[in-house]
Amino acid sequence: MADDMERLRQMLQPRLLPQYIPHKPTPKQAAFLLLPNEEAFYGGAAGGGKSDAMLMAALQYVDQPDYAALIFRRTFQDLALPGALLERSHDWLAGTDAIFKEKDHRWYFPSGATLTFGYMEHEKDKYRYQSSEFQFVGFDELTQFSESQYKYMHSRLRRLKNSKVPIRMRGAANPGGVGHEWVRQRFVVEGKQNGRIFIPAGLKDNPHLDQETYTRSLMNLDKLERDQLLHGDWSAKQAGSLFDRTWFVDKIIDRIPEGVEILRRVRYWDLAATDNIDSNYTVGVLMALGDDGNFYLLDLQRFKGTPQAVERQVARVAALDGKLRTVIWMEQEPGSGGVNTIDHYRRRVLRGFVFKPDKPGVAKSERARPVSAACEGGLVFLIRGTWINSFLDELEAFPNTEDKDQVDAFAGAFNKVSSKTFAGQRGARRQRAAGLWS
């Protein structure tokens, strides 16, 4: 009986190395450290102890010779901030038998294990790790990274045969940031059903923090940031003024209805050919106008990459859309750079396709008003796809959001496909009734 109780006690306590981990984990941190799952995420309200949880997790197996851990922040400056993980590691490990090499930003342990601190400021920085092997990869402030950076590091997780060291990918963050939507979707929305465990934690879960003082400081934030950081609300978003998600409740369909003839198809590209993590996405919206007067959003492509990678993807999508069926439009940026880009795509990337430049000349919010009216009038249908949740999130927040790429391409596609010349009598009547034109 005593042996059974001892085994049970050990099962309920995470593996800790007191010589390297001086803090006792909170219950939420302990739950995070106990997880056997390959992927797990710790986050929610600010002050929940996520940085300590990440460092504890990375140090759990540094007594094993075949163990290598890596923790990321987005930039080296983030790593070096006062109180950030690199400085915290020195607070914990200074005076132990671990040795730090400044050149590598790496701790070496007597067992032969290592703990490295890295950064990925740009998308291509992930390839600096392409020949490395790790058993633990952690992303502190995961919402500051792109999804492709996170997924790429899965390829660096491996271990020797018969190793006792688990393979783990761990993330920690508060709501908000450039990666908010993909992190929310991967862990909060889809996580449980895919074995990705989300451990929510907030101020009340961290007894080591002066909760009253910290709460007062968070009360100075606007409502959106306050909901995200004080309450850990992953669904909080700033409502926009042009679109309403409820307009699409019965407008998401599997296919264009039988008997509807397609009068026109347009693929509109809002280009952002840069690999900087802060850059906008390249987005291409495929939209069709039916002879029933309705508009059908058939497909949405959204990605980041180098100019060459973007060109390859645009060309691939054009081939799938079909040369004879689809007119391709691309927004032309002001100045000679925009002219050169359009010329390059016309002569080299999309040669042989019907390709046209668009110079809108009006503000983004004004450009979106016609498609907003069509949506409110019940004329826009969405063909079911994996892109819909992200699209509706951005639509609902527009224009009070940094992310406007999907709305820009959506508005561009609508404005090009919605010519009354192609609408037919029945379609023209419906569109006129919705206030699209007089």
Give the separation between CA 285 and CA 269, rounded to whole angstroms: 7
Question: What pLDDT, on the 0 to 100 scale, is given for residue 6?
Answer: 47
Question: What pLDDT, on the 0 to 100 scale, is given for residue 219?
Answer: 60
> Which residue segments constitute the domains of the chain, with CATH numbers given?
2-229 (3.40.50.300), 245-433 (3.30.420.240)
Tens of pLDDT along 126-155?
999 988 899 999 999 999 999 999 999 998
Structural contact between residues 293 and 423, judged by C-beta atoms closer than 8 angstroms: yes
Left (φ > 0), alpha (ψ -120 to 50) or beta: where does 195 sit? left
Contacts 24+ apart (CB under 8 A), 426-430: 426/291, 426/292, 426/293, 427/263, 427/289, 427/290, 427/291, 427/292, 427/293, 427/294, 428/293, 429/293, 430/292, 430/293, 430/294, 430/379
How is residue 333 annotated by DSSP? P
Give the separation between CA 236 and CA 176, rounded to whole angstroms: 9
0.85 exceeded by pTM: no
Tens of pLDDT along 238-274?
556 688 889 999 999 999 999 999 999 999 999 985 5
Helix (H, G, I), strand (E, B) or coil at 227: helix
- In single-letter form, the type of residue at position 412 comes to G
**Cα radius of gyration (the chain):** 26
Give the separation between CA 234 and CA 296, rounded to whole angstroms: 30
Give the other-Cβ count within 10 Å of 396's Cβ.
Answer: 20
The helix or strand, by DSSP H or E, that contains position 228, with its residue range, turns out to be helix 223-229
Question: What pLDDT, on the 0 to 100 scale, is given for residue 423?
Answer: 39
Average pLDDT, the chain: 85
